[in-house]
Chain A
């Protein structure tokens, strides 16, 4: 875990409202795992006051070494708006890598990845590690859903790491199937359940995916969002309801990636 002042390497518009920001980071990020996140602060500023959490979208390699990280983010409020105005060379205060990560147990051959909207952010990093972990990319699938065409991100990136089957859905039908992402997912799972499902996206989507996983007995890991102040397990602001009603789980240290059945979704 590192807290460091880093320089922005690039910050580019991906499509309307979505940006990619590259920044330098400690070489120790080579040990960061898919699903882990960072907390970003604008140095010395009090608006916004608190750090903002973002998943690691990918590691930036330079001559084979980890030289930085890239985040994929959507502008939704003050903090992300301000981030979208950063330029190459600007300084940011970076804290990370934080939290739990997606696990790929041995003998995992066939996986389904489900991403809703900005939920694709950690999934690209995940997809880039699958092959090394022994997963068969030709048999695996990714399901990407969004409100409309502009909310479908990174399709080509998943192809570029070797994934073959990409299912696209939009709520307005402007691209792919006009449906929720869970419809083609359920069809595919029913046909033949994968060894594992990984999901990240809005809570209603996570709920629906977890339900499908349970019905077809497929192990499922989900990444969830919560408001966070510290990211370190200190403020207890990020409480989420777990299967044990006696105590809350904390998204920043027990998560953000959970086995779906540990959560009370």
Chain B
């Protein structure tokens, strides 16, 4: 029998045993899935987005199912960086899987202070910076849709930490390559995309939005073609590794991203639908490599024929 194919990849200098990570906000702080998933098999765990202070989040209803997807406006409810370090991280440190902390702030200063704090905490493999948040100083426009603001955030984080840094891009932009170049220029070691697409759904019986926040973020299979397209465009534009995210339910979905140029993927909404999705995807990617006689995943990455 031939040797098992090599699934390992490197993202921002962090070695992953396989390219399948969990997406922020869809896997809690990891432990929530420990009875169902062998967490040590995962390529990486990205935890729920953290802010300096605990955050209560938005009022309910926070979620609504839409065709082949869902809207969410959780409002970044989280325990805050200190409670994360004290209560959630010790468990994650018992795992062999690299743990990425996802951070967000409402000002450049808040991102900078988070980065400083994370630099002091042991046991974190890397930082994923969510730049899809509203920038309070510029009237609530998201950092991630403005190349200068995105640059400022990533630069501020870069200056405060030497941890591997991944910038998570918002798809709510006209040209993803402009933002991708700008965060790489500011010092990002990798880019992950996409975050949710802004959306809305109305209950016509009572003429109310189905989400209390009125608008929400669309995720799930409905957004996959948009995400694959953006990964493909970003892969042409920058030289750092790309982590593909958006509507991945199966190994074949994940392979679309890898072939389009992503070096790894994150699985989000699928964790709700099938808590074992990540493991099924890892097994499926391995089976695909065997079937196509690839010895290494790197043979597949960016192998789109055109």
Chain A interfacial positions (CB closer than 8 Å to B): 1, 3, 41, 46-51, 93, 95, 226-230, 232-241, 246-248
Q: Which of A1, A228, A233, A236 has the most CB of B within 10 A?
A: A236
Task: Say yes or no: A51-B272 contact (C-beta < 8 A), given A234-B27, A236-B77, A246-B56.
Answer: yes
Q: Does A41 lie within 8 Å of B221, measured CB to CB?
A: no
Q: CA A206 – CA B61 in complex, angstroms?
A: 18
The answer to whether A230 and B36 have CB atoms under 8 Å apart is no
Q: Are A229 and B77 interface neighbours, CB within 8 A? A: no
Q: Which of A3, A47, A233 contacts B68, CB < 8 Å?
A: A47
Q: How far is the CA of A232 from the CA of B276 in the complex (A)?
A: 13
Further 6 A-B residue pairs, CB within 8 A, beyond A229-B63, A232-B275, A235-B272: A46-B249, A93-B274, A236-B62, A236-B77, A246-B56, A247-B54
Interface size on B, residues (CB 8 A): 37
Residues in chain A near residue B225, CB distance under 8 A: none
A246 to B56, CA, bound (A): 7
Q: B60 contacts A240, CB within 8 Å? A: yes
Tell whether, in the assembled complex, residue B72 and residue A3 are in contact, meaning their CB atoms are under 8 Å apart: no
With the chains together, A237 CA to B269 CA distance in Å?
Answer: 12
Is B5's CB within 8 Å of the partner chain A? no
Q: Which of A41, A228, A234, A237 contacts B273 (CB 8 A)?
A: A41
Shortest CB-to-CB span from A118 to chain B, Å, is 19
* 26 A/B residue pairs, CB under 8 Å, sorted by A: A3-B36, A41-B274, A46-B68, A49-B65, A49-B69, A49-B273, A50-B65, A50-B272, A51-B273, A95-B36, A227-B63, A227-B64, A229-B272, A230-B271, A234-B27, A234-B33, A234-B272, A235-B26, A235-B74, A236-B62, A237-B63, A237-B74, A239-B58, A239-B62, A239-B77, A248-B60
A239 contacts which chain B residues (CB < 8 A)? 57-60, 62, 77
Q: Is B241 an interface residue (CB 8 A)?
A: no
| The 4 residue pairs across chains A and B that have the minimum distance between CB atoms | A234-B28, A237-B63, A230-B272, A229-B272
Select B33's contact among A49, A228, A232, A246, beta carbons within 8 Å.
A232
Query: B302: CB under 8 A from chain A?
Result: no
CA distance A136 to B58 in the complex (A): 44
B interface residues, Cβ below 8 angstroms from A: 25-28, 32-33, 35-36, 48, 54, 56-65, 67-70, 72, 74, 77, 220-221, 249, 269, 271-276
A235 in contact with B221 given A49-B65, A93-B274 (CB within 8 Å):
no
Determine chain B's interface SS by DSSP, over half rule.
loop
A49-B273, A51-B272 known; A232-B63 Cβ under 8 A? no
Could you say which residues of chain B place their CB within 8 Å of the CB of A93? 274
Q: How far is the CB of B212 from chain A (nearest CB, A)?
A: 10
Cβ–Cβ contact A235 & B63, under 8 A = yes
B138 to chain A, nearest CB (A): 27
Residues of B within 8 A of A238 (CB): 60, 62
- A250 and B190 CA atoms in complex are apart in Å by 34
Separation of A1 and B275 alpha carbons in the complex (Å): 12
Contacts of B27 in A (CB 8 A): 234
The docked-state distance in angstroms from the alpha carbon of A233 to that of B274 is 14
- Across the interface, name the chain A residue whose C-beta is closest to B54: A247
